[in-house]
Amino acid sequence: MYLRFVTPLRDRDSGAETGFFRAAWYLYETGCPDWIHYELRRQFDWFDAHLPLPGRTARCFKRRHAVRGVCWFRAEATACIHRAHYCAWLLSEGGVPVRLLKQRRLEEVMWRDEHQIVARPDASAPRAFGTDRFRLQYAH
């Protein structure tokens, strides 16, 4: 089983729903409370220390555009998943909804380690937010 925490924001490269690591930038643009920034920074510091960066996140081809992968946690990565739930709650408190996707199998795996995998986004897979559009509202 693989788990991914997603937001309604879309990744420009892959077209997939953005995960919570990438969506955190939005909170800096909207002026959410400082305590949320502080807590996210603490959690991201933990991830920096305990979760290796994927060795490969894309496949390049000579005659077509690169295929960008998305990261999924392996179900066995319980410490990572526990912290990801907390990060999801923090993002939600800051105004960015987060939902959990679960997949039993992923078709094209580009990279893996003991905590996570990088897989090609599957266009036929259901999206957590369907066709909902999330409007970026910047604080002025």
Segment holding 72, helix H or strand E: strand 70-74
Q: What was the pLDDT predicted at 56? A: 65
pTM: 0.85
Amino acid residing at 35: W
Q: What was the pLDDT predicted at 138? A: 36
The pLDDT profile of the chain, 140 residues, written as one tens digit per residue, is 999 999 998 887 777 899 999 889 888 888 889 999 999 999 999 999 999 988 766 666 666 666 778 899 999 999 999 999 999 999 999 999 999 999 999 888 999 999 999 998 877 666 788 765 555 443 32
Whether the Cβ atoms of residue 5 and residue 98 lie closer than 8 Å to each other:
yes
Q: What was the pLDDT predicted at 137? A: 45
Block residue for tokens 């199998």: 105
The string of pLDDT tens digits covering residues 104-121 is 998 889 999 999 999 988
Whether the Cβ atoms of residue 111 and residue 117 lie closer than 8 Å to each other:
yes
- Report how far residue 89's alpha carbon sits from residue 95's, in angstroms, rounded to the nearest whole number: 10
Whether the Cβ atoms of residue 30 and residue 95 lie closer than 8 Å to each other:
yes
Q: Determine phi and psi for 54, rounding to 5 degrees.
A: -60, 140
